[in-house]
Amino acid sequence: MRTVNIHEAKTHLSRLVDKAAGGEPFVIAKAGKPLVKVMALDAAAPSPSRRLGFMAGEVEAPEDFDRMGQARIEELFGIAS
């Protein structure tokens, strides 16, 4: 496993992280003393996406759905029909 000092890690962080993500972990050392190990994380499997229409045919809307409560709404807003 490769060991790099802090200065080198700061200078080449992007390249080092790309390599670690590709399966090549490395150790960052300060004054020759190993401090941290950088390695790729195991990515969690993505959750299944929710599909539209999963309750198709199970729920019905009344025929007058778009007019439900119309009289009360008109009353509240002072609209004469």
Summarised one tens digit per residue, pLDDT across range 24-57 is 999 999 999 999 999 998 866 667 777 788 888 8
Domains of the chain (ranges plus CATH)? 2-38 (3.40.1620.10)
CA nearest to 20, candidates 4, 39, 44, 43: 39
Summarised one tens digit per residue, pLDDT across range 52-67 is 888 888 888 889 989 8
The pLDDT, as a whole number, for residue 79 is: 84
From residue 67, how far is each of 14, 71, 75 by CA, in Å?
59, 9, 14
The pLDDT, as a whole number, for residue 8 is: 96
- 8 A C-beta contact, residue 21 and residue 12: no
SS3 14: helix
Q: Report, in angstroms and rounded to the nearest whole number, the Rg of the chain calculated over CA atoms.
A: 31
pTM across the whole model: 0.52
The pLDDT, as a whole number, for residue 45 is: 65
